[in-house]
Amino acid sequence: MSDLDTLTADIRACRHCADRFAATVSAHEPNPVLRVSSTATICIAGQAPGIRVHRSGTPFTDPSGVRLRAWMGVDEDVFYDAACIAIVPMAFCFPGHTATRADLPPPVDCARLWRQPLFQALPAIRLVLLVGKAAQDWHLGDRLGMTERVRRWTDAPGDAKDTAYIPLPHPSWRNNAWLKANPWFETDTLPKLRTCLSLHLPSS
């Protein structure tokens, strides 16, 4: 087994948060969800699986995934081709529900345990899509809000070689109001995002 295979197996076997999850309203067991390969050049760094992804075991099998694929301009075959696109959320397991059935935030322990060694085992990654605030906070380390982060990239994206990170809002319906208030995201950001992605994906 390669170092990446061993690490992935260790992540899938992780039960570090089992007691935390058992104490939530959903009272669920850990089920780490990720997709990686040593050849992937693009990484989608999301938040954490929702309940639908927890049940399916496949990332973004929900309305957020439908919207994210539309933003990227790719179909499911491309999106789920791990040889090209890795999917590495900030927390690999569904964090659970609150008493009001809202999703809990990603446990920071997951990133502290696994993120650095996992990215070290992904040598081909050249473009990281930071989907949501948790991923942006971890990878960028600045004090900007999401809107300013996305707008700054939109204003000066550079070319694909220079663009290591692309911050994006989370594609959840909860961000519908943000999308309506920031129409430049669809008119300016998404075309530039698709151009960058096309440089890292196999030509059709």
Looking up tokens 């058992």 gives 22
Sign of CA dihedral 103, 108, 113, 119: positive
pLDDT given for residue 202 in this prediction:
78
- Bridge partners, 87 (sequence order): 35, 44
Q: Is residue 117 part of a domain?
A: yes
Q: CATH number of the domain that 193 lies in?
A: 3.40.470.10
Q: Is residue 121 part of a domain?
A: yes
Instruction: Outline where DSSP puts E strands in 98-168.
Output: 127-131, 165-168
What are the strands of the beta sheet with 165-168, ordered from one edge?
85-87, 42-45, 127-131, 165-168
Query: In this model, does residue 204 exceed pLDDT 90?
Result: no
Q: Which of 27, 18, 50 is nearest to 172 (CA)?
A: 50
Query: In this model, does residue 60 exceed pLDDT 70?
Result: yes
- 158 pLDDT band, cuts 50/70/90, is low
Q: Is residue 203 part of a domain?
A: no
Q: Is residue 175 part of a domain?
A: yes
Q: Is residue 65 part of a domain?
A: yes
Among 95-99, 107-111, 164-168, 197-201, name the most confident range.
Answer: 107-111
Looking up tokens 């995002």 gives 193
Which one is predicted more confidently, 59 or 141?
59
- 1 pLDDT band, cuts 50/70/90, is low
For residue 32, what are its two tokens? 């780490």
Q: Note down the domain range covering 80.
A: 3-198
For residue 139, what are its two tokens? 């990878």
Q: Is 16 in contact with 110 (CB distance < 8 Å)?
A: yes
State the Rg of the chain over Cα: 17
116, amino acid identity:
Q
| Average of per-residue pLDDT across 11-29 | 95
- Does residue 15 sit in helix, strand or coil? coil
Query: In this model, does residue 122 exceed pLDDT 70?
Result: yes
Residue 190 parent element (H or E) = helix 190-198
Query: In this model, does residue 163 exceed pLDDT 50?
Result: no
Q: Model pTM?
A: 0.93
Q: Is residue 204 part of a domain?
A: no
Q: How many domains does the chain have?
A: 1
pLDDT given for residue 101 in this prediction:
84
